[in-house]
Amino acid sequence: MAIISINLKDGTLDSGSEVIVGIDLGTTNSLVAYMKDGQAVCVKDDTGKNTLVPSVIHFAENGAVLVGDAAKAKLITDPGNTIYSVKRLMGKSYADLTAVQGFLGYKILDDDKASLVKIRVKDHYYTPIQLSAEILKALKARIEKELQAPVAKAVITVPAYFNDNQRQATRDAGKLAGLDVLRIVNEPTAAALAYGIGLDTTQAEIIAVYDLGGGTFDISILQIQDGIFEVLATNGDTFLGGDDFDSAIVTFFCSQLKIEREILAEDKSLGQEIRLLAELAKKALSRSEKFEGKIGNQTVHITRAEFEAQIAPMVQKTLDCCSGALQDAKLTTDKIDKIVMVGGSTRVPLVHKSVAGYFGKPVFNSLNPDEVVALGAAIQADILAGNQKELLLLDIAPLSLGIETVGGLMDVIIPRNSKVPTKAGRQYTTSVDGQKNLKIAVYQGERDLVENNRKLGEFTLRGIPPMPAGLPKIDIQFIINADGILNVRARELRSGVEQETDIRPTFGITEEEMAAMLLDSISHAQEDMRSRGLLEARNEADHLLQAGVKFLKQNENILTPEEKKETKMLLDALKTAADSSDKDNILQAVEALNSYTAPLAHRAMDQTIQAAMQGKKVS
């Protein structure tokens, strides 16, 4: 057995005592949290009051970039240069976004090459990754100020339904902000951790995480077992949240003021004034039974019962989503052990009452619902820092891992973003008769050709018993343990030959190198496809050339002189084509040889069978 022991990130085991922060990178607001004296806390702004950083970025005329409250203030005065809701664009192509573009005040551009969206601000084009990185930089600065020390490592949360592209985009944003993103954690998982759910690894349970924010609603059903959180189902509505509650109150106030709601579209400042008062009313009604306020010199008022009547259909819509998620998970409400509330809008009494009623049990809502995800991320970060050693939570492999195969192609065994710990394997064989040794070279990276990836090490499996090419079964297993250490094992299954070799990693890999490798793989995607196509065509040609020579030799007596001549000619043509760099040429030559020899091969086979049958009869 051959073993390579490598820490995939830097070639060493983490010593683990530095601060790793938890970040909730939200659609509307973002937060950063860390463990302070054994307790997860969110970091406040300079005023010492707010933990939320509005996820808004403003680009000033002089090139200055503002993030947070200061940028939010520009939403009204300079909307074209103020970007919000960037999370909705992460990892998306232009085609994915046609539905949302109308909602955004800024310009989304189609980028032909990468087909990922870009956002135009003045003469600059920004990717959602770059924009998210600006928010992350602001959070990094906030925590560094608090701790008076540099912070380089983070855990970032994403919605459970985020796909690989969106998760990778989030990781890349972290890298751009100078953060080593140790783990991407699902938001519902973080919320559960904040309540200590899942920390007792002996307990198995099923939980529902109900997340109603300003603009979106998500419900996730998670199964927790042995400290592993598995998402059973997600459902939701990407355009339903507290903003809609505000809007319902705006309509209510308009009728009291005896004005048409439509005029607010024209009178923007009146619209803004009523909207702000509506949000104030909504928040007040979470504590009091009634609210009274003023617009100009006119009084508006709303009771909690009136508010609840307005929003009841929206709350019902969220419950319908819960039913959808349960149905997908093939569960009923009585199978849900705990319900965790996330998002500012779960403060609305009708919301938590309705959810508790729907599931038939009280909900977890004692923590600040705006902070709960960030707090959980900080707990996860603390576990990663090695401060809660008994806990094992899943990570993902940041780059693909694979081996070199014929022609220098990268054969991926563990794809990028796979959950860690993980194990994957594949069987290989020899390409030459009697081959005794097989070189196994391990690479990390996203490019199709190994020469463009990073070599982690290589070893040779020796002592394979002589067999015809293609007969040995060489099993190669990649195992990544919870520490991110990769073990590679090679074994010839027919003979049981194993080899043991220790390989040291060539060099450590920095976050910048990792970022560069990823960007490289994106920018070279087309070129890689071409070279992979050429190499595959060449491999096929080589294989066919060998088989063709064998065929001619074995069927000397069956083929006519013309058939032999034509086959030889086609073989020569294929050889010439294989030496060229023209994939189509090679494939044409392969096709020509194949189609000419196919009937000959059939005939040869028939005659061999006939001969065998006659032989049988004779005996």
Give min distance, CB of 591 to ligand AMP, in A.
59
Give min distance, CB of 182 to ligand AMP, in A.
24
Return the range that interacts with ligand AMP (CB under 6 A); candidates 33-41, 54-62, 276-284, 575-583.
276-284
Give min distance, CB of 285 to ligand AMP, in A.
7
State yes or no: is 211 an active-site residue.
Answer: yes
Token pair of 298, please? 């006119």
Nearest to 277 by CA among 293, 258, 299: 293
Cβ distance to ligand AMP smaller for residue 370 or 448:
370
- Residues 279-308 contacting ligand AMP, CB under 6 A: 279, 282-283, 286
Give min distance, CB of 493 to ligand AMP, in A.
54
Token pair of 438, please? 């097989």
Amino acid 1 reads: M
Token pair of 458, please? 């290589």
Whether the Cβ atoms of residue 429 and residue 405 lie closer than 8 Å to each other: no
Cβ distance to ligand AMP smaller for residue 208 or 348:
348
Amino acid 166 reads: Q
Angle of helix 304-328 relative to helix 349-359, nearest 10 degrees, comes to 40
Whether the Cβ atoms of residue 279 and residue 302 lie closer than 8 Å to each other: no
Residue 7 Cα distances to 184, 240, 304, 484, 504, angstroms? 18, 43, 57, 6, 10
Q: Build a one-symbol-per-residue string for 357-386: x at contacts with ligand AMP by CB under 6 A, - elsewhere.
A: -------------x----------------
Give min distance, CB of 253 to ligand AMP, in A.
16
Return the range that interacts with ligand AMP (CB under 6 A); candidates 159-167, 237-245, 289-297, 378-386.
237-245
Give min distance, CB of 389 to ligand AMP, in A.
32
Burial of 239 (0-12, 13-18, 19+ CB in 10 A): middle
With b for 16 or more beta-carbon neighbours within 10 A and e for fewer, the 291-321 pattern comes to bebebeeeebebebeebbebbeebbeebbeb
Cβ distance to ligand AMP smaller for residue 285 or 541:
285
Q: Hey, how many other C-beta atoms are within 10 angstroms of the C-beta on 260?
A: 10
Cβ distance to ligand AMP smaller for residue 210 or 428:
210
Return the range that interacts with ligand AMP (CB under 6 A); candidates 241-249, 263-271, 357-365, 488-496.
241-249
**Residue 85 Rama label (left phi>0; alpha psi -120 to 50; beta):** left
Cβ distance to ligand AMP smaller for residue 370 or 446:
370
Question: Which of 348, 350, 384, 401 is the binder for ligand AMP (CB under 6 A)?
Answer: 348
Question: Which of 128, 174, 198, 214 is the binder for ligand AMP (CB under 6 A)?
Answer: 214
DSSP 8-state class, residue 23: E
Cβ distance to ligand AMP smaller for residue 28 or 380:
28
Cβ distance to ligand AMP smaller for residue 212 or 476:
212
Give min distance, CB of 155 to ligand AMP, in A.
19
Tell me how many residues contact ligand AMP (CB under 6 A). Answer: 17
State yes or no: is 187 an active-site residue.
Answer: yes
Cβ distance to ligand AMP smaller for residue 343 or 457:
343
Give min distance, CB of 250 to ligand AMP, in A.
13
Catalytic pick among 87, 153, 175, 583: 87
Cβ distance to ligand AMP smaller for residue 49 or 113:
49
State the Cα–Cα distance between residues 349 and 346, nearest whole angstrom.
7
Q: Hey, how many other C-beta atoms are within 10 angstroms of the C-beta on 605?
A: 12
Catalytic pick among 134, 172, 180, 187: 187
Give min distance, CB of 184 to ligand AMP, in A.
19
- Residues 15-74 contacting ligand AMP, CB under 6 A: 28-29
State the Cα–Cα distance between residues 63 and 83, nearest whole angstrom.
14
Question: Which of 30, 85, 170, 345 is the binder for ligand AMP (CB under 6 A)?
Answer: 345
Catalytic pick among 172, 211, 370, 492: 211
State the Cα–Cα distance between residues 170 and 183, nearest whole angstrom.
10
Whether the Cβ atoms of residue 342 and residue 214 lie closer than 8 Å to each other: no
Reply yes or no: is the peptide bond before residue 421 cis, omega within 30 of 0: yes
218 binds ligand AMP (CB under 6 A): no
Token pair of 75, please? 């939403």
H helices of 49-110, where? 69-72, 74-77, 98-101
State the Cα–Cα distance between residues 72 and 84, nearest whole angstrom.
8
254 binds ligand AMP (CB under 6 A): no
Nearest to 395 by CA among 182, 162, 178, 158: 182
Name the site residues for ligand AMP (rule: CB under 6 A). 28-29, 213-214, 241-243, 279, 282-283, 286, 343-345, 347-348, 370
Q: Catalytic site residues?
A: 24, 87, 187, 211
